[in-house]
């Protein structure tokens, strides 16, 4: 979950043009983590719309991946413990074992060597629900671009790198509840880059 403060920092860190940053922040200069969810969601919705129009795909992915949440604490410890406990196994066998771990999705090794991660299957009635606290359980009448979901993809990438001992990149957000009005779950494709 990006927080507004860290997100603004990342725009500078990844050299987004100052005029684009100004457009993103215009009218939302006072938005911080403690701002009501509906306002934060509006800020991120507009930010992503502007980025989709004016920032190249690789840079958008890198910005949102850097903003990924839950990269420390109990989840990081669990990922490191998994890596230690399974260090003797080839990475493909570790990938299959990830399915048994809580909150780590269901990974599938594709024929082309990429990894499809069926990440999150939260439901709200008959619809899929986003797990991001910026949007979950928020009543909204607008879709949010899958670009936003590179943040969640970054969370999974971070932990899979630890668990598998591989360098990964989120190649694609295949589907998301945010842009499908809850019709589709969170699914990512990761590629091995080292």
pLDDT tens string 35-51 = 999 999 999 999 999 99
Alpha helices (runs of H) in 18-149, residue ranges in sequence order: 18-25, 37-54, 57-66, 74-85, 91-98
**Closest to 20 (Cα-Cα) out of 42, 51, 46, 52:** 51
Please give the chain's pLDDT, 194 residues, in tens.
Answer: 679 999 999 999 999 999 999 999 999 999 999 999 999 999 999 999 999 999 999 999 999 999 998 888 899 999 999 999 999 999 999 999 999 998 899 999 999 999 999 997 777 788 888 888 888 777 778 889 999 999 999 999 999 999 999 999 999 999 999 999 889 999 999 999 97
Instruction: Read off the tokens for 168.
Output: 């990964």
Predicted TM-score (pTM) of the model is: 0.92
Which residue shows structure tokens 């709200």? 124
């Amino acid at each position: 979950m990006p927080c507004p403060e860290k997100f603004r920092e990342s725009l500078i860190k990844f050299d987004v043009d100052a005029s684009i940053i100004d457009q993103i922040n215009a009218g939302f200069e006072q938005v911080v983590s403690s701002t009501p969810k509906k306002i934060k969601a509006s800020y991120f919705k507009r930010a992503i719309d502007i980025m989709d129009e004016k920032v190249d795909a690789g840079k958008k992915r890198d910005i949102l991946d850097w903003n990924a949440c839950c990269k420390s604490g109990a989840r990081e410890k669990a990922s490191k413990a998994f890596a230690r406990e399974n260090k003797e196994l080839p990475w493909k066998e570790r990938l299959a074992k990830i399915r048994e771990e809580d909150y780590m999705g269901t990974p599938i090794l594709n024929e082309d060597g990429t990894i499809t991660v069926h990440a999150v299957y939260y439901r709200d009635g008959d619809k899929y629900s986003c797990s991001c606290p910026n949007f979950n359980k928020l009543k909204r009448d607008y879709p949010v671009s899958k670009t936003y979901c590179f943040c969640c993809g970054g969370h999974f990438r971070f932990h899979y790198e630890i668990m598998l001992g591989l360098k990964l990149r989120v190649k694609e957000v295949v589907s998301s509840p945010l842009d499908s009005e809850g019709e589709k779950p969170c699914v990512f494709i990761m590629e091995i880059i080292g």
